[in-house]
Copies of this chain bind each other. A is one copy, B any other.
Amino acid sequence: MLHTERRDTIIEILKTKDTASIHELVELTGASEATVRRDLSKLESDEQIKRIHGGASLSRRRRNEPTIAEKSSVNQWEKKKIAEAAASLLEPGECLFLDAGTTTLEMIPYLADRNLVVVTNGIPHVPLLLEKGIETYVIGGKGKQGTGALVGIKAIEALKEFCFDACFLGINGVHPVHGYTTPDPDEAVVKRTALDLAERSYVLADHSKINSITFANIGELALAEIITSDRLRDDERTNLKKYTDVKVVST
C-alpha cells in the first residue's frame, strides 16, 4: 500500500470514528506499529489530526470545518431567501442587470424559464446562467482577481449601452448617512452606473451588512430598494425605512 493511501485511510477511519487507537490503525492498515506512528506524526505536523496518548483524533481545525460550513450555510440560507425574493420581483420578458457577487449568484436558479434577458459583470455567473438556458450578455472590462468581477472604464462604457428594467446589486455596506458602500472603488463605479441605467434598482443585503461602512461610496440609500431578512433587528429596520423602501424576507 502506498504511504499516501495509508494516510488517507487513517483520515477516513478517523472521520467515521473520530478517535482511534494505534492498535486499531495497525490492524486496519496492515502496517506495523512504527509505521503508523510515523504516519500520525506526519499527519499531526500537517495539522490534519491530533495525536493523543495511545492513538489519534481529528484535529480541532478539521473537526470544526463542518461546523464552519454549517454556519456559513446558515448565512447561505439567508442569502438564498433574499435572492429568491429578489427574483420574484421580475416580470416575464424583462431585462435585468445582475451584479457580481455571491448573493446575486443565488438568484440564478430562480431566473430560469421566465424569458428574461440577463446582463452581468460577474464571470462566475455566466456558466450558471448559460446552463439554465438564460439569454446572457456579458459587459466587457478588466477582470478582477478574487471576485471575478469586470471593472474599469471599458466595463462602464459597455454597460452604458444597455438599459435595464431592473438592476440587482450585492453590497457590503448599507448605512443611513454613508449610503451604499463597497470595498473596491472600481466595482463601486460599475454599481453606480448600473443603478443609473435601471428603471428599478434593488440592493441585496443580508443583516450583517446593515449599518456597516466600507471604503468606496456608491450613493445614497434612496437610489435603490433594499432587500434584507427578518434577522435584522426591528429598530434598525424602522430606521432604514425612513430613507428608502425596505423589503424584509422571512427566513
Which residues of A are interface residues toward B (Cβ below 8 A)?
2-5, 19, 21, 52-55, 57, 123-124, 126-127, 129-131, 133, 135-146, 148, 150, 154, 158, 161
Q: Report the copy number of this chain in the oligomer.
A: 2
Contact, CB under 8 Å: B129 / A143: yes
Contacts A2-B19, A4-B57, A5-B19 given; does A137 touch B126 at CB 8 Å: no
Residues of B within 8 A of A3 (CB): 52-54
CB distance from A101 to the nearest CB of B (A): 15
Interchain Cβ contacts under 8 Å between A and B, 19 examples: A2-B19, A2-B52, A3-B52, A5-B19, A124-B127, A126-B143, A127-B148, A129-B143, A130-B144, A130-B148, A131-B145, A137-B141, A137-B142, A137-B143, A137-B154, A140-B140, A140-B158, A154-B161, A158-B158
Known pairs A5-B19, A129-B143 / 14 extra A-B pairs, C-beta < 8 Å:
A2-B19, A2-B55, A3-B54, A123-B123, A130-B145, A130-B146, A130-B148, A137-B143, A137-B154, A138-B138, A138-B140, A138-B141, A138-B143, A138-B150
